[in-house]
């Protein structure tokens, strides 16, 4: 009887220990989730990892995974949500560590949105996100750059806005901000927001920029496509990129071409007035203070 009682007590003690362990593990899991979000459980996507990626890399991922247009749009919105929060936290003047801490829940939510949209492609997508960030030491805090947009009151010109971008390949990030558009909605867009950057390299002071067809085929939807608007589109691109000391001139192409037609639109005519220049240089005269 004494042996049975001892056995019962031993069994009860084991169950109590198991319950305690379950509670402790559950508490720890809850704490880690609240602190690190879904990134801790499998995805390992740290704050800033999503919006660190440049648009060219994201476009390549989309092609590789054969994402639908809807899936691509969801991914873009998730990345923009993280970047928007990074901008807000940077503008508040928070320290690097504080921005990373505050950004965790936004990153976790963005991963959840991507997972819901991509389904079984999610793990591959997240692995490619981690591959981009591997070996990089990119600050979570963003840096300010000047981006030029179109103004037309009273005369045509371009005006600079301060935009916050990822502190890596800043000329490319500035061009991405130009495509996203101005914060001051009274200014005009130099390129349609549907434009994709297909290629971007800098060699011997020249930035070679390859844009998707939407730069000319959808300009009428979003941009001032008059002669003055076309001239300022070119100046806005040139002045934005020549803000960086390594760039003195810009050469534009549309889907790898400087001549020919795409969807019935002439590449060399650009928006149909002055046409696509052989190269773009800085024009201080059109800058509006």
Q: In this predicted model, what pLDDT tens digit does every residue of 139-193 receive, in sequence order?
A: 999 999 999 999 998 899 999 999 999 999 999 999 999 999 999 999 999 999 9
Q: What is the pTM of this model?
A: 0.84
| DSSP assignment string, 170-234 | HHHHHHHHHHH--SSTTSBPSS-TT--EEEEEEETTEEEEEE-THHHHSHHHHS--SHHHHHHHH
Q: Residue 25 — very low, low, confident or very high, per pLDDT cuts 50/70/90?
A: very low
Examine the pLDDT at 16 and tell me if it is beyond 70.
Answer: no
3-state secondary structure of 146: strand
Q: Residue 2 — very low, low, confident or very high, per pLDDT cuts 50/70/90?
A: very low
Examine the pLDDT at 5 and tell me if it is beyond 70.
Answer: no
Examine the pLDDT at 101 and tell me if it is beyond 80.
Answer: yes
**Residue predicted with more confidence, 30 or 260:** 260
Two tokens, residue 71:
């899936």
């Amino acid at each position: 009887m004494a042996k049975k009682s001892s056995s019962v007590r031993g069994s009860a003690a084991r169950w109590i220990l198991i319950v305690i362990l379950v509670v402790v593990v559950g508490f720890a899991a809850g704490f880690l989730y609240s602190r690190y979000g879904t990134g801790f459980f499998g995805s390992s996507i740290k704050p800033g990892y999503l919006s660190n990626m440049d648009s060219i890399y994201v476009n390549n991922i989309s092609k590789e995974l054969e994402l639908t247009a809807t899936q691509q749009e969801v991914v873009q919105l998730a990345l923009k949500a993280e970047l928007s929060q990074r901008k807000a936290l940077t503008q508040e003047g928070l320290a690097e560590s504080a921005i990373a801490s505050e950004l965790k829940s936004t990153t976790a939510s963005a991963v959840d949105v991507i997972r819901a949209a991509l389904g079984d492609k999610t793990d591959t997508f997240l692995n490619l996100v981690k591959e981009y960030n591997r070996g990089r030491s990119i600050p979570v805090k963003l840096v300010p750059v000047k981006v030029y947009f179109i103004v037309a009151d009273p005369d045509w010109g371009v005006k600079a806005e301060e935009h916050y971008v990822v502190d890596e390949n800043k000329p490319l990030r500035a061009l991405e901000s130009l495509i996203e558009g101005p914060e001051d909605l009274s200014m005009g867009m130099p390129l349609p927001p549907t434009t994709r950057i297909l290629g971007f390299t800098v060699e011997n002071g020249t930035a070679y920029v390859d844009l998707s067809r939407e730069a000319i085929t959808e300009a009428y939807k979003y941009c001032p496509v008059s002669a003055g608007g076309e001239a300022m589109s070119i100046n806005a691109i040139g002045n934005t990129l020549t803000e960086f000391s390594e760039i003195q001139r810009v050469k534009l192409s549309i889907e790898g071409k400087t001549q020919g037609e795409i969807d019935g639109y002439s590449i060399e005519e650009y928006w149909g007035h002055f046409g696509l220049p052989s190269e773009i240089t800085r024009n201080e005269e059109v800058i509006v203070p």
